[in-house]
Amino acid sequence: MPTPLTPDAKSPPWSSRPKRRVALLVETSNSYVRALLQGVISYVRENKPWSFSLVEQGHSDEAPRWVKNWDGDGIIARVKNRRIAEKIVASGLPVVDLSITRYIPTMPNVEPNDEVVGRLAVEHFTQRGFKHFAYCGDDIFLISDRRGACFRRALAAAGLTCHEFKRRFAASVAISRKVADIGDWLAELPKPLAVFACYDVRGQHVLDACRLRGIAVPEQVAVLGVDNDELLCELASPPLSSVIPNAQRTGYEAARLLDRMMNGETVPATSVLVEPLGISLRQSTEVLAVDDPHIALALRFIREHASEPISVTDVARVVPLSRRILEKRFRQLLNHTLHEEIMSVRLNRVKRLLVESRLSLEQIAASTGYEHPEYLSVVFKREVGLSPRQFREHQRRGGVV
């Protein structure tokens, strides 16, 4: 774990300036961080304008020398190493950290809620009937260790266990070697297997390893990544399912906290956790790993027709079993009812549309199987605890868990 640093007490020089000057010390090479910056921009557009100094950072880069004596007002940073932390601390400015490393424990940080990420992954796989699970991490990054631990805890809570890929690679090791080693690991594991990868790039490595070893995806191995880098996920073969972080909300909340600090407020030096939006389903997990063909047929029908006003009766019509036997088998295998499955699939689609589109509630209701938007509002409020409008605002305006 990193050795924490504590800034010296200084009188705040930022209290009287009319326009804030903020340094952004982040890497911009991936879609997650670019979405963070969009969240910062959204906050600033809704409030007083700031002047930005954007400094693109690599994972092992040092902060620019000028940061230490910079006559600015605040910093939003992904503090990935001690060298960056030292210069930021020396500046004496208010800082909000977007990394989980916590090199500066006296400053607040905003980060993904990986406990929820782990639970989402487990729910995603168990709803598809998987009984064998594995985690493929990357020991270079602390977030990989944390996500793996969260995934294991979520599995343990469901009475399940996890295989892990534990081989550590030096940074200089070729990708082909990593893929080959992952393939060797996968070949020894029971099938069908659900693999959770620490982030999308590692998920792509798992898919490449499956192709190298002739392992069918998703029939033998289903793969789920994290970050939902759309370009990377769509270019993967097959396209990679991925957990969708709410990166814009994370950036928005970081800007909100920094604004409070620059205004002289005391902000607790705690972690603000931001829940993911859900899972973007693509071909790499589009499978139903249940031994019972009748239950598999029911699940497939629900996923294909949940946007229509279907009921349990409609499901029972297409499955050659009596309704009573079908409902009994479904509950025994998946630990929830057919009605709950239909509701879950529908509400997940509603959540996605509320956050990712500008469709009206009437349009969303029509496209997700609800005949009346009023009924959708009642169901949504009962299940989620917020009205659709409140949920949309909560997600877009930096509400936190």
For 304-359, what is each residue's pLDDT tens digit?
A: 888 898 999 999 999 999 999 999 999 988 888 999 999 988 998 898 788 778 89
| Euclidean distance between CA atoms 18 and 295, whole angstroms | 63
Q: Are 236 and 207 in contact (CB under 8 A)?
A: yes
Q: Assess whether pLDDT exceeds 50 at residue 10.
A: no
Residue 282's nearest CA partner among 341, 232, 242 is 242
For residue 390, give the CATH number of its domain: 1.10.10.60
Amino acid at 363: Q
In a shared domain, residues 219 and 256: no
Q: Alpha helix (H) ranges present in 103-237? A: 114-126, 142-157, 175-187, 200-213, 230-235
Phi, psi of 242 (to 5 degrees): -155, 145
pLDDT on residue 77: 93
In a shared domain, residues 67 and 164: no
Residue 355 is assigned to a structural domain of this protein: yes
Q: How far from 230 is each of 28, 203, 226, CA to CA, in Å?
A: 15, 13, 11
Residue 64 is assigned to a structural domain of this protein: yes
Q: Alpha helix (H) ranges present in 220-322? A: 230-235, 247-262, 293-305, 312-318
In a shared domain, residues 127 and 96: no
pLDDT on residue 398: 47
| Euclidean distance between CA atoms 316 and 346, whole angstroms | 18
Residue 209's nearest CA partner among 170, 169, 236 is 236
pLDDT on residue 168: 78
Banded model confidence at residue 267, pLDDT cuts 50, 70, 90: very high
Q: How far from 219 is each of 243, 288, 315, CA to CA, in Å?
A: 20, 8, 23
Q: Burial code of 349-382, b = ≥16 C-beta within 10 A, e = fewer?
A: bbbbbbbeeeeebeebbbebbbeebeebbebbee
Residue 346 is assigned to a structural domain of this protein: yes
Residue 401 is assigned to a structural domain of this protein: no
- The residue-averaged pLDDT of 187-194 equals 96
In a shared domain, residues 226 and 134: yes
In a shared domain, residues 152 and 233: yes
- DSSP annotation of 68 reads G
Residue 282's nearest CA partner among 331, 231, 340 is 231
Q: Burial code of 280-294, b = ≥16 C-beta within 10 A, e = fewer?
A: bbbbbbbbbbbebeb
Least reliable range by pLDDT among 14-23, 154-163, 191-200, 365-374: 14-23
Q: Residue 131 is part of which domain span?
A: 114-245+279-285
- DSSP annotation of 69 reads G
In a shared domain, residues 120 and 101: no
Banded model confidence at residue 6, pLDDT cuts 50, 70, 90: very low
Residue 3 is assigned to a structural domain of this protein: no
In a shared domain, residues 125 and 226: yes
In a shared domain, residues 135 and 226: yes
pLDDT on residue 257: 96
Q: Assess whether pLDDT exceeds 80 at residue 370.
A: yes
In a shared domain, residues 302 and 385: yes
In a shared domain, residues 91 and 197: no
Residue 10 is assigned to a structural domain of this protein: no
Looking at the 3D structure of the chain, how many domains does it have?
A: 3
pLDDT on residue 41: 93
In a shared domain, residues 56 and 132: no
pLDDT on residue 59: 61
For residue 79, give the CATH number of its domain: 3.40.50.2300
Tell me the pLDDT tens digit for each residue of 31-78. Answer: 899 999 999 999 999 998 999 988 776 666 677 778 878 889 999 999
In a shared domain, residues 107 and 203: no
Residue 6 is assigned to a structural domain of this protein: no
Residue 375 is assigned to a structural domain of this protein: yes
